[in-house]
Structures are given as structure tokens and as C-alpha cells.
Amino acid sequence: MRLAGRRLVLGVSGGIASYKTCTLARRLTEAGALVDVVLTRAAAEFVGPVTFEALTGRPVLTSLWDRGRPLSHIHLAHDPELVAVAPATAHLLARAAQGLADDPLTAILLAANVPVLLAPAMNDRMYAHPATQRNLATLRERGWTIVGPATGGLAEGPSDLAGRMSEPEELFAWIERLLRAGKSALAGKRVVVTAGPTREALDPVRVVTNRSSGRMGYALAEAAFARGADVLLLSGPTTLPAPAGVALERVETTEQLAGAVGAALKRADVLVMAAAPSDFRPASPAKQKRPRGGKGLTLTLAPTPDVLATTKRLRKRGATVVGFAFETGAALKRPRQKLVDKALDLVVVNCADEPGAGAEVETNRVTLLTREGQRELPLMSKRDVAEQILDAVEQLR
């Protein structure tokens, strides 16, 4: 569990979005965090303390005057590694900006000497009001992290303006980053990750592509963001949602991927080439859809650019470069040669023909190959594989 034993306070103020905080509390607890929930009086009108006690397995603080718990707000201000407030209403933001301490949550915010994350949620006009914007500016100057708000439906109806609280998974990603970044060698580094397949046009309707889903590259981008890195994800066509906090640039063809990688390399401290670019493209793509016909179709394929090879002369000095080898069988001869020929620091060897591994699944089994040796990993989720790969990258750096 990535957050095992990490302690945080999860504050909840009185907004309808507090129902989403239940999901966040459960997600944090499942990740191993010790979550102490603090409700304002208004928040308890939306979601009762029993709900959060059931989700976290820990008592919930609702009042400065709870019997048997003297000075709980002071202990909670000193013990945690992070204080997060979701939702943070306009009223809560105003009180926090002014340094008020008239309930447990604002008292904790005033006494805490740890990172603070706020997830604003309110009516779009309330959010846009100059008073709210000044309060947010004050809190940012204090060094607090503000996540959101997003656009979308509000309690009173549809809206295309900001006001809606960010989704629990996005808030989880930011909380994980704030908790983990301080212990990572990747914090503050520029990490470029490629992901997914590329597609080469046969005609305006058909393409030549491969089975890559992009899950491995997206998991690597998420894991690098959690470690505090500045992440750029260069993605071929996938159906995956953009990872929270990650800059996403989409490409279609192998040539476009090569151009995007080349442009990003000047600043990249780490390059992770998890994409599966098409090795060939139709030599003469048709401008109109080819008729089906009855005699079949003979294609002439031309090689596409070797994206990883083209990076050798463009890499930033001292950059760590990770390549992937998508192989069938257990042979490592070609990946070892790839390590040398393309001047890589690490090659991740995917087994394409092993059950539960490779493309179009959520798990993977890989071998990590460096000049010093190799390490085989058991079958695990692609996010867990990503953590192992980035552990190896940090050791190499």
C-alpha cells in the first residue's frame, strides 16, 4: 500500500460535495493512510460522523467541546503529515484566510505546520467573486495547495464555469504527491513518458496499429507525478483519462511521436519510452477509402522512424533513459543489444505471450535489464510495475 502508515487530517466543510469526500476517505484508507476526519457543524448536516467513522475506522472530531477529548484539535494539528479540506466552501476559505479558529477545523488549520491542500467547492458566482479570489490568493501565498475547482454540474443545475469540487481520484493523486514527494529523488525533475500505440493511415478509414492500450505508460506518468516530478505524457490514441496533474500531449503517428519527443528532450531529466510505436506504415496511403474487392489487398510497408534511436543526440546531459522491449518468449538477446545500441540506462522487457501480461490487460510481468544485471518481477498491477521501474530509475540517478 503506497500510503501505509501515513497520517493526515481530512477536513470537511458544509457543502453538498461532501458526499464525494466519503469516496476520498475510503480511497485514502484503502491505500493504508491513517485518516482523521474533522467535520464542521455545517458538514455534519450533509454527512454524519458515523459514515466517516465506518469508512476510516477512526473517531471523527466535530466540536471543540467533545467530552473525553480535550485539546484534540491541537494534537491533530501536530501529529499529521498533511491537512486536506474537501470540500472547502467559500465560508471556510474566508475564515481560514483571516486566521479564525472558532471550530476544530479552522483551529487545526491555524496551528498546523504541515502542507495544506484545499479543494474549493461552491456556486460558480461565489467562486468568481473578488472576495473569494482574494482569499484564495492569500492562502496560496501561505504556501497552501489549491486543487480545482472544476467545471460541470452544480447542485443548482448545469454550469460551464468553475465551482464544482474536483473528483476524488484527482484529489487522491495530489494528496499522494504531497505526502511522497519529499522522499523522492524525482521531486522537481522533468520526466517525459510516452504511452500507447501509434496509428498509420492505410486510407482515411483504416489504420495499421498494434495492441498497446497505453496503461503501462499512463501508470508510469501517475507514479512519477506522485513522486513530485513535473510530468509530460506523450500519448498515442487511447481511451484512458488524462492522469491528474500531468501535462498531456496527444499524437497519432510514429513521426508525430518522434517530433514530440525531440521537442521535449531539451528539458527532460528522465525519458521513459513506454509507447509502442508502429514499426511500419503503408508506403502509399490512399486518399480515398479503398474498396473491399474480392481479390484481397497487397500492401507495401515502409519503416517508420526509430524514435528511441533518434533521441541519442538530443538528450540532456545526465538524463536517465528507459526503453521498453515488447518480446515473445523469454529471450533477452535483443533487449540486451538494445541497451547498448541505443545507449539506454534501463530496458523493461515485456512478455507479450504470457497470461496476464503485455497489452490490453491491467497487469504485467516484466524483467528490468541494466548493464549491471537483470531482475525479474512477478505478475503485478501495472501501477505496481511502474513503482518498481521508478525505484530503479531513482537508484540509477
Give residue 66's pLDDT.
64
Which ranges of the chain does DSSP label H, i.e. alpha helix? 18-30, 43-46, 49-56, 72-78, 90-98, 104-111, 124-128, 130-141, 168-180, 215-226, 254-264, 307-310, 333-341, 382-396
* Residues of the chain below pLDDT 50: none
Give residue 341's pLDDT.
83
Give residue 78's pLDDT.
60
Q: DSSP of 19-43, one letter per residue?
A: HHHHHHHHHHHHTT-EEEEEE-TTH
Secondary structure tally for the chain: helices H, strands E: 14, 21
Give residue 359's pLDDT.
73
The 10s digit of each residue's pLDDT in 74-87 is 556 567 899 999 99
The 10s digit of each residue's pLDDT in 301-340 is 888 988 988 888 888 888 999 999 877 665 667 777 888 8
Listed residue (236, 208, 234) closest to 221, CA to CA: 234
Give residue 176's pLDDT.
96
The 10s digit of each residue's pLDDT in 346-371 is 999 887 767 767 777 888 888 898 88
The domain spans of the chain are 7-181, 184-285+296-396
Same fold, 7-181 and 184-285+296-396: yes
Give residue 329's pLDDT.
62
Q: Which residue has the cell 482569499?
A: 135
Active site residue 210: yes
pTM above 0.85, yes or no: yes
Q: Which residues contact 86 (CB under 8 A, 6 or more apart)?
A: 10, 11, 12, 17, 20, 21, 24, 117, 118, 119, 121, 165, 166, 171
Let me know if domain 7-181 sits in CATH 3.40.50.1950.
yes
Set of cell numbers at residue 247:
501535462
Asked if the peptide bond before residue 291 counts as cis, ω within 30 degrees of 0, the response is no
Q: Kindly report the CATH class assigned to 184-285+296-396.
A: alpha beta
Q: DSSP of 51-96, one letter per residue?
A: HHHHHHSS--B--TT-TT-TTHHHHHHHS-SEEEEEEE-HHHHHHH
Q: Check if the beta carbon of residue 338 is closer than 8 Å to that of residue 347.
A: yes
Q: Check if the beta carbon of residue 172 is closer than 8 Å to that of residue 383.
A: no
Catalytic residue among 123, 135, 210, 364: 210
First to last CA, the chain: 24
